Amino acid sequence: MDTQIRFITTPTADSPGTTLVVLTPKKHYVFGQQSEGTQRALTQMGQRMTKVEDFFITGKMDWKNMGGTIGMLLTLADATASSFENSMEVYRKKLESNGGAAIPKPTRTTLNMYGPPNLKHMLGTCRRFIFRKGMPIRATEFSHAAPTQENNGDFPPTWKDEQLQVWALSVAPSEAPLDAEQEAALASRMADFEATENHFEDHQAPQNETPEERESRYDRIRTTVLKHMFDSHWSFDTLVERHISEVEMPTVMYIRDPATHQLDKYRGPLPGSGAPLPDIKVLTRTPWPAALVQSLPPSRPFENAVSYIIRTHPARGKFDTKRAKELGVAAGPDWGKLATGNSVTSSKGETITPDMVLGPDKPGQGVAILDVPSLGHLETLIRREEFNSLAVMDGIQACIWILGPGLSTHPILRSFTERFGKLKHVIASSDTSPNRLTFDSVAAQTTRLGQIDGERYHTPYHDNTPLSQATISGGSSQEAALPPNTIMAERGLQFRLMPKFEMGSEFIPALLDISKVQEETAPEIIELAKSAHDDIEQDKDALETWRHLLSRAETEVITLGTGSALPSKYRNVSATLVRVPGVGNYLFDCGENTLGQLQRVFTPEEMLEVIRNLRMIWISHLHADHHLGTASVIKTWYKVVHNSVPLPTPASLDSIQSNPSDYGLAVISHFGMQSWLKEYSAVEDFGYSRILPLVIDPVEPRTSSGSTLTLYSNKKLPPSRYKPDLGVTDIQACAVSHCFGAMAVSLTFPHKSSSSSRSASATAPLKISYSGDCRPSATFPLIGRDSTVLIHEATFDDELKGDAIAKKHSTTSEALGVGAQMGAKAVVLTHFSQRYQKIPVLQTVEGVEEEKKDEAEVEAEATVDDVSMEDAEDPTQTNPDIQPRPTPAAPKLPHQSSSSAPNENVIKVRSKDMKVAIAFDYMRVRIGDIAKLEKFNPALSKLLADDEEKEVGGAQGDGQGQGEGEGEVNANGKKTSPGGWGEGGNKKKKKSRRNN
């Protein structure tokens, strides 16, 4: 059976982990670390995931290893659910056409996760923002224990199926003393959990329970939570009748009209309001199951790191046709039976067994994948008994080492590689792996963008030389010295395990050739870019006049992720950094791999400054594409600013006022985000004790109330602390229509002290407004009035307004309309649908023409969505991933075009002083230069049109296809046959069902 193992990632700035896939004709498997960016790297490498059911996670349980898991699971859950629905539709049609004859019914795919302790706990902490139905997840944790040994002395595999055998090696550092203070705190939390938080009726603590029995019970609770998250039978449309006095608020209540039997919303006195209640029964939705889980059983960080030895099953020996004929077995079905291990009867009436016609079995072959975070783990790992067992190591041809810093040249490692000198040893480590580009497609596009606008775009920072990577966490730019008998891991490096072991390099992608990319840019694009620069020079007086309208014009906006829902080859998920000189840095949303994007925009030296001066992370809502990068950014800040030294207790108002230098980074969001950060801190010390976790209350529509900030410990932060603790003079948020807890925000900064003759107060203070994901809001323009810059989502093109309404997003015109209502000086458009790359043609209108609005614009202005009651009050919506049935898509609006170019859409800007920027990943623009960017739109439009042609007509597609085809494309653009060495993906991508 043809079996290969291929490197998908090696340690770099934006793919911090090492991930491998094992490919067999029937199934694929993922081994290694599931770091942030893994899903996108699979897309870049053209590796489909449709055959993957089993994930074997190596290393420790921390976000560095696991940060990409959640996004991957959500994508696979949607894909497998869609596949199951299609299979069921085919099944029903066959059942009807066959007249009820028995037909095998499709079964749901189960995703299996294997990894270190706390795997289930980490997944369970995400219950506030994950809800899937019909996608069972089975998680198995491997704890540190001696391997099981059979009577004959062999060590049976920990796991096996028809293709592979796997031995799991879970080790803890040789010196891992228990922290008495930590154990006492854990015992206290357990007591509190049992007393007030354990609402699982089937899992209450029995008397005289041993610690082992308690851990088993806690494991069952976590397993139950995972079932609620991924395999619930809950329905949004299920209503339960109860007396109004029994209803717990907040929730939406309905009453049934006795005459029409139609449901209407109940609008009378509410329980808890103090007003007399009517004697009636109402209907309410049942809370989705995970909403009832207020707390998980307490846990603590574990140091266990998991490695694996994997091997194929032995292959049957060669069939001896001559011997079969001699024994009286004629060619035909009997030969097939013998070849598959079944006995037959010969023409002489004798029983012929397989061993009589088959040669000796070919032993299985495999590799060891050894994840070693520290020297303590290495010392323990090499003492594992499996390495001395011939039954385990027979056929193992290579060791793949995933090493922590400083281990690649350690004498203990060298001794081990010498002991197993006949094996190939491959090392993946930031000490030896160069900081090469992982996402080649966007790097090439950004290089071309730099040819158009070299001030705003630069080729992502990287280094192709095998150096010890210089990072913000340390490391020096010195040539890496690999130990003897070892080779460096490379993305695309592949081993064929069966039928014959061999190493292949044909899938190692070529390094980005910047000069070649630039040479391939169409001359027409270069000419359009030159015209743009000429226009800027010609209009420099007008541009400078506009610049003087702004406060703090040197403030920089860096768009790190400008895509929606899923990361693609060209756009990562949501994140925007705003750098205010003299004040600090502010991160608006923090989607998966935001840290990696930062490390491609900035050099290591610049990154240190960016992280040191990071003052705030704003999370607009809990959809995964907006916040899964938060933990890694906090952890990096924690290391740089506080040397990873925790405080004994989280922040309090008193401690902030008395020792402000103990903190420095505020995370502001909805209560659910703060709950996740607090709960995840039980798994890993990522710096929670050092941050200011602030819950913001949105302003009440049509009232004069403002937003308030409250520490997660329920103490309000007084406005007098805003400037010293946050660097702002005001922060206001409003609820928006997208999902439960979604908010838009406006930050106002202090006036810049100036020695110039022009008073600092001559212009309005710097004000940054950020929409997150939303429909246009009536309240947002009010809190954002006189914004300097509005950063607004523009997920859909105007002609797809029906999709925008159904999915609670905004169109380009709607986003610009919000900016005009605010009186914003500039608008940065972001969060574009991954399926549409269009540059709108912006047409500023004023005077008489400003009063003439076409039908589409009138409709756009009328469509301002207030937050629905379901979004605001229904407890079923405490998970933002749950959505009511979408609004039916409206008819497409009339589309006005000024040219035949397919990428041009005319958008009217009804504010003469408002300038607009179309964002791409890695864009760096000072707000005073935003007025220049529209000059480049014709060149950008042509560039995207050319890229689209290459994607459609070129060999390699977007790598996220789900279908089968006649051939696959490898990383070099070579087409190969399906199922072989080149199994990748160049198929049309199916639409994601994720609610983002």
The model's pLDDT over 686-739, given as tens digits with 9 standing for 90+, comes to 999 999 999 999 998 877 789 999 998 788 999 999 999 999 999 999 999 998
Q: Quick one: pLDDT at residue 236? A: 61
Task: Judge whether 15 and 37 are in contact, CB under 8 Å.
Answer: yes
DSSP 832: B
Q: Is residue 165 classed as helix, strand or coil in its secondary structure?
A: strand
Task: Judge whether 615 and 586 are in contact, CB under 8 Å.
Answer: yes
Residues 216 and 246 in one domain: no
Q: Quick one: pLDDT at residue 754? A: 59
Q: Quick one: pLDDT at residue 950? A: 65
Q: Quick one: pLDDT at residue 471? A: 67
CA-CA distance, 563 to 831, in Å (whole number)? Answer: 5
Closest CA to 512 of 442, 595, 601: 442
Q: Is residue 658 classed as helix, strand or coil in its secondary structure?
A: helix
In a domain, 730, yes or no: yes
Nearest-10 Cα torsion for 943, 948, 953, 957 = 120
In a domain, 304, yes or no: no
* Residue 925: half-sphere exposure toward Cβ, Cα within 13 Å: 27
CA-CA distance, 703 to 697, in Å (whole number)? Answer: 14
Q: CA angle, corner 113, sides to 116 and 186, nearest 5?
A: 40
22, containing H or E segment: strand 19-23
Beta strands, E only, 373-491: 396-403, 424-428, 486-488
Residues 634 and 659 in one domain: yes
pLDDT band at 951 (very low <50, low <70, confident <90, very high): low
In a domain, 134, yes or no: yes
pTM comes to: 0.87
CA-CA distance, 561 to 472, in Å (whole number)? Answer: 21
Closest CA to 162 of 27, 319, 4, 343: 27
Select the more confidently predicted residue: 392 or 135: 392
CA-CA distance, 336 to 178, in Å (whole number)? Answer: 59
Q: Is residue 359 classed as helix, strand or coil in its secondary structure?
A: coil
Tell me the range of 35-44, 317-326, 840-849 where mean pLDDT is highest: 35-44
Residues 556 and 674 in one domain: yes
| CATH number of the CATH domain containing 773 | 3.60.15.10
CA-CA distance, 306 to 787, in Å (whole number)? Answer: 51
Closest CA to 65 of 377, 293, 295, 310: 377
Residues 540 and 655 in one domain: yes
Task: Judge whether 627 and 673 are in contact, CB under 8 Å.
Answer: yes
Which range (454-463, 471-480, 578-587) has the least confidence?
Answer: 471-480
CA-CA distance, 495 to 397, in Å (whole number)? Answer: 10
Residues 256 and 340 in one domain: no
CB within 8 A of 34, min separation 6: which ones?
A: 17, 19, 55, 57, 65, 66, 67, 68, 69, 72
CA-CA distance, 916 to 910, in Å (whole number)? Answer: 12
Closest CA to 691 of 636, 643, 731, 638: 638
Mind listing the pLDDT tens digit for each residue in 647-698?
998 899 999 999 999 999 999 999 999 999 999 999 999 999 999 999 999 9
* Category of 27 on φ-ψ map: left (φ > 0), alpha (ψ -120 to 50) or beta: beta
In a domain, 347, yes or no: yes
Place of tokens 């930062």: 598
Q: Quick one: pLDDT at residue 50? A: 85
Task: Judge whether 46 and 959 are in contact, CB under 8 Å.
Answer: yes
Range of the domain at 658: 531-753+763-846+906-949
Residues 734 and 695 in one domain: yes
Residues 7 and 109 in one domain: yes
Mind listing the pLDDT tens digit for each residue in 506-545?
999 999 999 999 999 999 999 999 999 999 999 999 999 9
Polymer length in residues for the chain: 996
DSSP 328: T
Residues 255 and 214 in one domain: no
In a domain, 49, yes or no: yes
Residues 813 and 924 in one domain: yes
Residues 218 and 243 in one domain: no
Residues 336 and 223 in one domain: no
CB within 8 A of 269, min separation 6: which ones?
A: 275, 276, 277, 278
Q: Quick one: pLDDT at residue 986? A: 38
Task: Judge whether 783 and 746 are in contact, CB under 8 Å.
Answer: yes
**What is the Cα Rg of the chain in Å?**
30
Q: Quick one: pLDDT at residue 666? A: 97
In a domain, 199, yes or no: no
Task: Judge whether 17 and 3 are in contact, CB under 8 Å.
Answer: no
Beta strands, E only, 69-221: 111-115, 137-141, 159-160, 164-171
Place of tokens 């899964």: 628
Place of tokens 């602390």: 721
Which range (7-21, 126-140, 282-296, 418-432) has the least confidence?
Answer: 282-296
Closest CA to 591 of 564, 622, 621, 625: 625
Mind listing the pLDDT tens digit for each residue in 150-189?
888 789 999 999 999 999 999 998 765 667 887 888 899 9
CA-CA distance, 793 to 144, in Å (whole number)? Answer: 47
- How many domains is the chain built from? 4
Residues 657 and 768 in one domain: yes
Place of tokens 């439960």: 740
In a domain, 394, yes or no: no
Edge-first strand order for the sheet with 767-770 is 730-735, 743-748, 767-770, 789-793, 826-830, 915-918
The dihedrals phi and psi of 659, each to the nearest 5 degrees, come to -135, 65
Task: Judge whether 765 and 743 are in contact, CB under 8 Å.
Answer: no
Cα end-to-end distance, the chain, whole Å = 41
